[in-house]
């Protein structure tokens, strides 16, 4: 009687799983294996005679239930999104093909974490700047309306599988974008995460493998190959390209996001001139900072070898010397121009001044 009861439970469970109704809700060990070791789809018979969810084999090049990547080299190599206003946590392991990144927005005011969340101020968070609005893009700022750098940005990356966040605030001149990966199976959000399928998320295509690109698909192997991880390359030095989706769901894709946060490690990107600790950023030279930039300065009184002139001396023979610019803006210089006008008493006889008698054209008494 007991044996028959277990058989009925197993048959009922298997029929429900096959219909796609219950599937993931069957707990491990909740049903016994049939006499021939048969278990519901997605489960396998263990040595104790009960059915447990099939874990798959990491490294078999197949994305099995519970895996986020297979083979392991398709797993993310790191989780740092370069945004100080998100926590980046590593979950799982590439060795078991279930490594993934979990990111959370930082919303609390805290000193020393590099983030000034919305609603925080310099009084409650020393990461917030008190220089916002001073007409200069200062270190740590990503924008400053008074400096002509708009804080009005769009954080939409066009990817349904990320939650697009705008971190910081215009009041603190630190608006930036953060993109949080969606890894939960949710109907009707337009995203089919790598661990989901059409039975657990209606955004996943049930037609994957039919040789056609259906809604929600980016590929359909083998007829229409999917992009491979090695093909995901950044569009420039200040961008990152990540491989998302999977071949098994026909939604493999490369997602390119801009790098907006400063880094203390060289990555060939200077996201903002205000990143003073970023080795890829060359500090902007300003007047009086002790550095001379011949491209933008003619002099700098803070540099002994390049002082600004204060007097250009007297006029030279048929050459007028004039002091232009200012030492305050490091653009003071002596400009020499040729005298071409026929003027009396300037000790100059230009070549075109040939008149010897008053009233004659080009008369210049200095030529007599």
Q: Reduce the DSSP state of residue 32 to 3 states and report it.
A: strand
- Structural domain includes residue 253: yes
Could you tell me the two tokens for 26?
């069957």
Measured on CA atoms in the order 80, 86, 187, 191, is the torsion positive or negative? negative
For 145-155, give one letter per residue: b (16+ CB within 10 A) or e: eebebebeeeb
Q: What distance in Å separates the CA atoms of residue 218 and residue 245, rounded to the nearest whole number?
A: 9
Kindly state whether residue 89 falls inside one of the protein's structural domains: no
Asked if residue 293 and residue 273 are part of one domain, the reply reads no
Which of 13-17, 34-38, 147-151 comes out lowest in average pLDDT? 13-17
Q: Are 118 and 169 in contact (CB under 8 A)?
A: yes
Query: Tokens 């980046």 identify what position?
Result: 88
Residue 150 falls within a domain, yes or no?
no
Distance (Å, rounded) from C-alpha 39 to C-alpha 356?
A: 120
- Is the pLDDT higher at 275 or at 342? 342
pLDDT at 118: 81
Query: Are 307 and 265 within 8 A, CB to CB?
Result: no
* Exposure of 47 in the CB half-sphere (CA atoms within 13 A): 0
- DSSP per position, 41-97: TTEEE-TTSBEEE----TTSSS--TT-S-SSGGGS-S----S-TTEEEEEES-GGGT
| Position 266 pLDDT exceeds 50 | yes
Q: Does the residue 137 lie in any domain?
A: no
DSSP state of 254: E
pLDDT above 60 for 8: no
Domain boundary among 252, 277, 302: 277
Query: What pLDDT, in 10s, does the model give residues 190-223?
Result: 888 877 777 788 888 888 888 888 888 899 988 8
CA 52: distance to chain centroid?
A: 41
pLDDT interval class at 326 (50, 70, 90): very high
- What contacts 167, CB < 8 A, 6 or more positions away? 83, 85, 86, 105, 106, 115, 117, 118, 174, 175, 176, 177, 178
The answer on 298 and 273 residing in a single domain is no
Helix then strand count (H, E) for the chain reads 1, 10
pLDDT tops 80 at residue 144? yes
Which residue, of 10, 34, 53, is where some domain finishes? 53
Tell whether 302 and 350 lie within a shared domain.
Answer: yes
The rounded distance, in Å, linking the Cα atoms of 259 and 165 is 14
Is 131 among the domain residues?
A: no
Residue 135 falls inside a structural domain: no
Q: Which pLDDT value is given to residue 5?
A: 38
Per-residue pLDDT at 130: 81
pLDDT band at 20 (very low <50, low <70, confident <90, very high): very low
Same-domain pairing of 330 and 363:
yes
Do 272 and 289 belong to one domain?
A: no
Domain range holding 30? 2-53
- The distance from CA 41 to its chain's CA centroid, rounded to whole angstroms, is 41
Q: What is the pTM of this model?
A: 0.45
In this predicted structure, what is the pLDDT of residue 65?
66
Boundary-marking domain end, from 35, 53, 71? 53
Cα four-point dihedral sign 63, 64, 67, 71: negative
Assign 21 a pLDDT band (cuts: 50, 70, 90).
very low
How many domains does the chain fold into? 3
Q: How far is CA 50 from CA 1, 2, 34, 188, 278, in A?
A: 18, 15, 9, 35, 57
C-alpha–C-alpha distance, residues 94 and 100, integer Å: 9
At residue 309 the predicted structure's pLDDT band, cuts being 50, 70 and 90, is: very high
273 and 289, same domain (yes or no):
no
Note the pLDDT of residue 286: 78
- Tell me, yes or no, whether 326 lies in a domain: yes
Tell me, yes or no, whether 162 lies in a domain: no
pLDDT given at position 244 = 83
Residue in the block written with tokens 């005011």: 109
Q: Quick check: 327 and 301 in contact, CB under 8 A? A: yes
Q: How confident is the model at residue 291 (pLDDT cuts 50, 70, 90)?
A: confident
Give the pLDDT confidence score for residue 32 in this predicted structure: 81
Q: Which region holds residue 142: left if phi is over 0, alpha if psi is between -120 and 50, else beta?
A: alpha
Got the DSSP string for 122-169? TTT-TTS-S-TTSSS--TT-S-BGGGTB--------S-TTEEEEEES-
Which residues in 68-77 are b (16+ Cβ under 10 Å) and which e?
A: bbbeeebbbe
Give Cα 236 to chain centroid, integer Å.
11
């Amino acid at each position: 009687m007991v044996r028959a009861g277990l058989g009925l439970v197993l048959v009922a469970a298997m029929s429900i799983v096959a219909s796609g109704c219950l599937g993931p809700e069957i707990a491990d060990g909740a049903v016994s294996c049939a006499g021939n070791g048969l278990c519901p789809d997605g489960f396998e018979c263990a040595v104790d005679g009960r059915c447990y969810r099939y874990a798959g084999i990491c490294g078999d090049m197949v994305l099995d239930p519970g895996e986020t990547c297979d083979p392991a080299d398709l797993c993310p190599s790191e989780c740092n999104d370069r945004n100080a206003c998100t926590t980046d946590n590593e979950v799982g392991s590439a060795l078991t093909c279930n490594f993934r990144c979990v990111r959370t927005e930082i919303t609390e005011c805290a000193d020393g974490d590099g983030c000034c969340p919305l609603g925080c101020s310099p009084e409650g968070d020393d990461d917030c700047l008190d220089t916002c609005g001073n007409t200069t893009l200062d270190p740590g700022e990503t924008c400053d309306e008074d400096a002509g750098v708009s804080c009005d940005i769009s954080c939409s990356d066009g990817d349904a599988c990320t939650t697009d966040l705008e971190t910081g605030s215009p009041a603190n001149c630190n608006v930036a974008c953060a993109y949080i990966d969606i890894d939960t199976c949710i109907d009707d959000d337009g995203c089919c995460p790598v661990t989901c399928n059409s039975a657990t998320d209606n955004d996943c295509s049930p037609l994957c493998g039919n040789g056609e690109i259906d809604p929600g698909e980016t590929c359909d192997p083998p007829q229409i190959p999917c992009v491979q991880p090695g093909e995901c390359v950044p569009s420039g030095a200040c961008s990152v390209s990540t491989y998302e989706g999977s071949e098994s769901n026909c939604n493999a894709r490369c997602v390119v996001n801009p790098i907006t946060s400063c880094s203390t490690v060289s990555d060939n990107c200077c996201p903002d001139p205000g990143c003073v600790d970023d080795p890829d950023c060359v500090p902007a030279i300003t007047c009086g900072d002790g550095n001379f930039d011949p491209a933008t300065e003619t002099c700098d009184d803070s540099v002994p070898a390049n002082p600004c002139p204060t007097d250009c001396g007297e006029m030279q023979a048929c050459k007028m010397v004039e002091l232009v610019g200012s030492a305050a803006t490091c653009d003071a210089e002596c400009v020499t121009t040729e005298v071409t006008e026929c003027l009396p008493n300037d000790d100059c006889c230009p070549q075109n001044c040939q008149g010897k008698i008053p009233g004659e054209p080009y008369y210049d008494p200095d030529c007599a």
